[in-house]
Chains A and B, each alone.
Chain A
Amino acid sequence: MSDGQTKKKFFYLNRKAPYGTIYALESLEVVLIGAAFEQEVSLGFIDDGVFQLMNNQDAAGTGMKGFSKIYRALGDYEVRKLYVEKESLETRGLSVDDLMPITYEDEDEDYAEKPSIVVVDKAEMAKLIADQDVIMSF
């Protein structure tokens, strides 16, 4: 499945905050498992989904397993595009500076670290959705 012709665009659409429901963690697990199939994978974060990427998450006091650091491993799994919607951030009083730094290593440029988070506006997000082969919603 490594030739370009059979690669499909997989998009994981995340719309819910972490910890309140299991959606965010389930989405991550599916992304990690799906990464083994070498497809073209990207993630979208809109509405409360943007809270999944908040910096300085500490779930220790809740008795739940914290999983925010896992997003930073996505680059190792060749998941290099995390699209975050500008309007969703703004509605919640957030900016990209409130999100954790997530990077991937570009092997074509001597493993230079590049940012994975890309802020897009609603119209660009709609275009991304319209450009996918498969969309998985969480």
Chain B
Amino acid sequence: MSTLHTVNKSPYERNAMTSCLGHVSAGDLVLLIEDGVLAARKGGSFAQALNAAKGACKIYVLAPDLAARGIGAGDVLEGVETVDYGGFVDLAASATRVCAWL
């Protein structure tokens, strides 16, 4: 009965991710895509917010969008799982509903 939340905006520019993390329920999945992946880089100021959210839900980040932006696998926050497009589909299929944060 979980929700897959997708976030496609940079947290440095918009509040989409902050708002998303404020509306998740325990057991939900959060997938960062497009500019949303910028939040997942180590050392960024949203690391804390993502770490705090990890307790209640699982955080994923889309690999091709990371690669496109020059963020290597080693630069991704601990505990954030990297998925490819197939993994994106699996997440959507496993969730009861999808909620996009634009």
Q: Which residues of A are at the interface with B, using a C-beta cutoff of 8 A?
A: 13, 15-16, 23, 46-47, 122, 125-127, 129-130, 132-135, 137-138
Establish whether residues A130 and B102, one from each chain, have CB atoms under 8 Å apart when the complex forms. no
Verify if B67 is at the interface (C-beta below 8 Å from A): no
Residue of A23, A122, A132 touching B97 (CB-CB under 8 A): A132
Within 15-61 of B, Cβ neighbours of A (below 8 Å) are at 15-16, 19, 22-25, 28
Asked if B1 contacts A130 (CB within 8 A), the reply is yes
Q: Are B99 and A137 in contact (CB under 8 A)?
A: yes
Of the four ranges (under 10, 10 to 19, 20 to 34, 35 or more), the interface on chain B belongs to 10 to 19
Task: Identify whether the interface residues of A are mostly helix, strand, loop, or mixed.
Answer: mixed
Q: By the criterion CB–CB under 8 Å, are A137 and B23 in contact?
A: no
Residue of A nearest to B6 (CB): A137
Q: Is the CB of A130 within 8 A of B19?
A: no
Complex: A11 Cα to B37 Cα, angstroms: 26
Closest CB in chain B relative to A128 CB, distance in Å: 9
Tell me whether B25 and A126 are in contact (CB under 8 A): yes
Given A126-B25, A130-B25: A137 touches B100 (CB 8 Å cut-off): yes
B93 to chain A, nearest CB (A): 15
A135, B97: Cβ atoms closer than 8 Å: yes
Contacts of A130 in B (CB 8 A): 1, 3, 25, 28
CB distance from B65 to the nearest CB of A (A): 19
Partner of A135, one of B1, B25, B98: B98
Contact A15 B102 (CB under 8 A): yes
Q: Which residues of A contact B24 (CB under 8 A)?
A: 126
In angstroms, how far is the closest chain B Cβ from the Cβ of A26? Answer: 11
Residue of B nearest to A127 (CB): B25
